[in-house]
């Protein structure tokens, strides 16, 4: 097993490359990051004492009196985490109260009217001046309010003006401390959950002010996704660290990566920086081009690719000129028009539209474009990797449909069904690998996860696979038998069974797509594990990206070789 430092380096390399570009943009627009109040928070939480499970965090929260939950306002996962707590029956053994920074105390009467059902969502949003006075995403915050109301938790606004002046931020903390103390007097036996901006939760800020007012009150601080703690936890042997104990009464949970945080904040800055006339275009869709390009740049630097290479051998030629067009849209109708205009078949259009609905985005290989309806880090990281894989092999000429001689790999020559299947599997494998490199928080997919699907209910199996029950079982049987096959034989007498076994499935349609995707994802996770363990170098990975799998026999042969070499303990 690799050492802590090596694991941390391997897990973090691509993210750090991608973050560098986003942070440069953010610093140019938002210069306040160096202010002392914000530094107090960053400097207070640099290390932790031990790793925790998510269930450990829930138990500590259930026992506490007042719980501060750190909010990174631009990150929807921050608000959704607290919404998930409010839905947890373990926390409702006593009354629960929610306090939020987002709503001014002066607007408590408006919040109460909504809570009693006297006004609807739109009126609440308008009257609390959400866009004007707050400006972050409404949907995850409204999900939080709804979760509280649905589970009988009283809700209070805690903030006051002015929000824009950091010189007055101490006064806001004192105001909030007074309001929380008032809530405790009003709800003496309740669990009080307080969602407040993370910088307010430095030990000497809001927690200290409230402890002065309520010295006997048992308090707990639950931070979310603190960068320094995340990078340190990246060195743990666990697939994914869910939470850590920073010190007594201070925990940190992880539900997003630093790159994900930066990407969402950049999107907020983009939305705030556009003029009203710009916002009217594209239904107010944010510009996701820089976000995708940063992800691509992270993978490019990770793989050691020269974007300006004049040849197409060990490097893709002039990658800098091949960057995809990025459509940031919210309408399926626009995507349908785009696909029809570019000559996609009806079946292909239906498949791509389904992918957009399920994933939020899709890479359109024939026209070298990414269509994004909703930004999700996992899907966008896959899209960035799919583009890079295609660019390494060559791109079509988008003006006349013919191959660009200087950029394009040899045209696929009458691939049989096995070649076509394994080319798709290979593309999924590298896409999954790249998404875990850029977004290590993505859950692993291993053979045990496929086996576990045989034990779920019929309804859950259909939901998780998006297949009818009989089709799901047949696809899982195929995956299980395929993965159990030993591809390690090297002698001629041993190779034939593997080649005979590596056949495309007999079924077609959505079942075929599911089998190819899952088989690719499993292989992609094998690649990621081998990379973390030091059995696979970035040079070898770059060679995989450059392999011309569109040629007859290449994809299947490359897949067989990978399966043979990616066994634990073997040098890949």
CATH code of 149's domain: 3.40.50.11550
Is the pLDDT at 335 greater than 90? The verdict is: no
Structure tokens at 438: 């850029």
401 lies in the same domain as 456: no
- Please give the distance of CA 181 from its chain centroid, rounded to a whole number: 37
Decide which of 386, 405, 424 is a domain's last residue: 405
Q: How many domains does the chain have?
A: 3
Is the pLDDT at 286 greater than 80? The verdict is: no
398 lies in the same domain as 488: no
Taking the C-alpha atoms of residue 377 and residue 397, their distance in angstroms, rounded to an integer, is 29
144 lies in the same domain as 157: yes
61 lies in the same domain as 195: yes
Max mean pLDDT range (324-328, 417-421, 425-429): 425-429
Query: Using an 8 Å Cβ cutoff, are 198 and 246 in contact?
Result: no
Angle, vertex CA 536, rays to CA 530 and CA 538, nearest 5: 125
- pLDDT bin (cut points 50, 70, 90) of residue 64 is very high
Is the pLDDT at 572 greater than 60? The verdict is: no
- Residue 487 located in a structural domain: yes
- pLDDT bin (cut points 50, 70, 90) of residue 23 is confident
Taking the C-alpha atoms of residue 282 and residue 55, their distance in angstroms, rounded to an integer, is 42
424 lies in the same domain as 445: yes
48 lies in the same domain as 118: yes
359 lies in the same domain as 492: no
Query: Using an 8 Å Cβ cutoff, are 296 and 323 in contact?
Result: yes
Is the pLDDT at 330 greater than 90? The verdict is: no
Mean pLDDT, the chain, integer = 89
232 lies in the same domain as 344: no
* SS3 label, residue 292: helix
- Residue 308 located in a structural domain: yes
- Residue 19 located in a structural domain: no
Instruction: Give me the phi and psi of 566, to 5 degrees please.
Output: -95, 15
319 lies in the same domain as 458: no
Decide which of 389, 405, 421 is a domain's last residue: 405
Taking the C-alpha atoms of residue 357 and residue 374, their distance in angstroms, rounded to an integer, is 9
Taking the C-alpha atoms of residue 243 and residue 51, their distance in angstroms, rounded to an integer, is 6
Look up the pTM and report it.
0.86
Q: Which neighbouring-strand residues pair with 194?
A: 68, 99
- pLDDT bin (cut points 50, 70, 90) of residue 333 is confident
- Residue 18 located in a structural domain: no
Q: What is the pLDDT of residue 456?
A: 94
Angle, vertex CA 124, rays to CA 123 and CA 130, nearest 5: 110
H-only helix segments in 394-457: 417-438, 447-452
Nearest CA to 362 out of 342, 388, 380 is that of 380
- pLDDT bin (cut points 50, 70, 90) of residue 354 is confident
Angle, vertex CA 273, rays to CA 435 and CA 123, nearest 5: 95
Taking the C-alpha atoms of residue 199 and residue 57, their distance in angstroms, rounded to an integer, is 21
570 lies in the same domain as 421: yes
Q: Which neighbouring-strand residues pair with 221?
A: 68, 250
Nearest CA to 360 out of 299, 288, 271 is that of 288
Nearest CA to 434 out of 560, 531, 290 is that of 531
- Residue 264 located in a structural domain: no
* SS3 label, residue 14: helix
Decide which of 405, 433, 467 is a domain's last residue: 405
430 lies in the same domain as 378: no
- pLDDT bin (cut points 50, 70, 90) of residue 500 is low
- Structural domain containing residue 113: 31-257
The H or E element that residue 459 is part of is: helix 458-465
Nearest CA to 243 out of 56, 370, 448, 413 is that of 56
A 10 A CB-CB count for 20 gives: 14
Nearest CA to 99 out of 200, 193, 224 is that of 193
- Residue 17 located in a structural domain: no
Q: What is the pLDDT of residue 284?
A: 58
**DSSP letter assigned to residue 412:** P
- Residue 196 located in a structural domain: yes
Structure tokens at 215: 């010295």
- Residue 87 located in a structural domain: yes
What is the share, in percent, of the chain residues with pLDDT greater than 90? 69
281 lies in the same domain as 418: no
- Whether residue 162 is preceded by a cis peptide bond, meaning omega within 30 degrees of 0, is yes
């Amino acid at each position: 097993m690799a050492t802590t430092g090596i694991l941390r380096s391997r897990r973090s390399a691509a993210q750090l490359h991608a973050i560098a570009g986003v942070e440069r943009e953010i610093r140019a627009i938002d210069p306040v990051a160096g202010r002392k109040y914000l530094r107090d928070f960053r400097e207070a939480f640099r290390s932790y004492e031990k790793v925790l499970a998510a269930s450990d965090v829930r138990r500590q929260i259930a026992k506490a009196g007042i719980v501060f939950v750190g909010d990174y306002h631009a990150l929807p996962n921050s608000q959704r985490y607290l919404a998930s707590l409010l839905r947890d029956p373990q926390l409702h053994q006593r009354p629960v109260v929610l306090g939020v920074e987002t709503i001014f105390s002066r607007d408590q009467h408006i919040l109460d009217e909504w809570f009693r059902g006297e006004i609807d969502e739109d009126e609440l949003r308008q009257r609390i001046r959400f866009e004007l006075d707050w400006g972050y995403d409404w949907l995850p915050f409204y999900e939080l309010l709804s979760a509280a109301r649905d589970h009988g938790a009283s809700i209070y606004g805690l903030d006051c003006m002015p929000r824009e002046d950091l010189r007055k931020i101490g006064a806001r903390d004192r105001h909030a401390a007074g309001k929380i103390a008032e809530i405790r007097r009003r709800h003496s036996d309740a669990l009080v959950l307080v969602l407040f901006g993370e910088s307010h939760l430095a030990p000497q800020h809001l927690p200290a002010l409230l402890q002065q007012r309520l010295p006997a009150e048992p308090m707990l601080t639950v931070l979310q996704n603190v960068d320094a703690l995340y990078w340190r936890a990246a060195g743990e042997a666990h697939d994914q660290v869910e939470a850590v104990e920073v010190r007594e009464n201070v925990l940190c949970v992880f539900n997003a990566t630093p790159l994900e945080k930066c990407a969402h904040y950049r999107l907020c800055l983009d939305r705030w920086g556009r003029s009203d006339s710009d916002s009217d275009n594209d239904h107010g869709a944010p510009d996701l081009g820089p976000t995708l390009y940063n992800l691509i740049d992270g993978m490019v630097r990770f793989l050691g690719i020269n974007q300006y290479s004049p040849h197409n051998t060990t490097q893709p030629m002039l990658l800098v000129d091949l960057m995809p067009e990025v459509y940031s849209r919210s309408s399926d109708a626009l995507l349908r028009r785009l696909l029809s205009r570019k000559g996609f078949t009806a079946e292909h259009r239906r498949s791509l539209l389904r992918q957009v609905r399920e994933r939020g985005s899709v890479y359109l290989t024939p026209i070298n474009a990414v269509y994004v309806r909703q930004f999700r880090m996992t899907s966008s990281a896959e899209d960035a990797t799919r583009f890079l894989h295609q660019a390494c092999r060559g791109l079509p000429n988008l003006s006349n449909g013919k191959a660009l001689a200087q950029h394009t790999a040899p045209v696929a020559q009458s691939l049989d069904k096995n070649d076509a299947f394994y080319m798709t599997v290979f593309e999924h494998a590298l896409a999954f690998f790249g998404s875990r490199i850029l977004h290590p928080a993505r859950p692993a997919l291993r053979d045990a996860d496929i086996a576990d699907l045989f034990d779920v209910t019929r309804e859950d199996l259909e939901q998780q696979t998006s297949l009818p029950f009989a089709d799901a079982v047949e696809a899982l049987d195929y995956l299980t038998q395929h993965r159990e096959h030993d591809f390690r034989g090297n002698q001629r007498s041993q190779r034939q069974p593997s080649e005979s076994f590596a056949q495309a499935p007999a079924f077609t349609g959505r079942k075929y797509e599911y089998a190819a995707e899952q088989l690719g994802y499993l292989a992609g996770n094998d690649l990621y594990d081998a990379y973390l363990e030091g059995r696979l170098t970035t040079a070898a990975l770059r060679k995989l990206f450059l392999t011309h799998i569109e040629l007859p026999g290449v994809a299947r042969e490359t897949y067989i070789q990978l399966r043979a070499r990616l066994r634990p303990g073997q040098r890949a």
